[in-house]
Copies of this chain bind each other. A is one copy, B any other.
């Protein structure tokens, strides 16, 4: 719950979304925000924080859960360091839409909507960049929707793996989490990953999947 120190400011400035802004504006935003720490498995907010605003992962990893009808919660994404998210937990008066849980010990930069508005008073460009961020998120999720409706399960798995590795070569996910995200059972995931491993496309680890042949996965996605 502290303002970022010098080191952390530098890390934040390196995040693409901030890096793309006018330097003074980014600095102002960073100054207005707060850092919070969460241990693995901890719930992100809930202490009366404003629940609408921005979220940026500095260290660790956040799991995003979304409320589905019938008491279910689905994990829809995992945010790695550097990811930025515009969030509005309560909008339109409905129940909480998004639940954010730390998957590992994490340091997260948060910026409430109020702080955002204040910063925007001095730097009107904030609004444009916020809109840009939201547009970007919209396209990401839209893409997700397309994948979910159009692709058969195995292709969905491949798409998810590619999305999770993000050129890192490794996706840090358990097969159980993958199953939840893809919307199938862990058994199915396990079987398909086994196939892929036999073909030499991936190497399986404990809570991780190493992608050896991304091109092959892309082939599966394309059908």
Contacts and interface: CB of A to CB of B under 8 A. Distances in A.
A98 interface: yes
Given A92-B139, A127-B127, A141-B141, A70 B134 contact: no
A198 interface: no
Contacts of A145: 66, 74, 76, 141, 144-145, 148
Interface SS of chain A:
helix
Interface residues of A, number: 51
A215 B67 CA distance: 20
Contacts of A139: 88, 91-92, 94, 97
A68 interface: yes
10 contacts: A69-B146, A69-B151, A76-B149, A92-B136, A97-B143, A127-B128, A131-B131, A134-B135, A138-B141, A149-B182
Interface of A: 52, 66-72, 74, 76, 86, 88, 91-92, 94, 97-98, 117, 120, 124, 127-128, 130-132, 134-139, 141-151, 155, 159, 180-183, 221-223
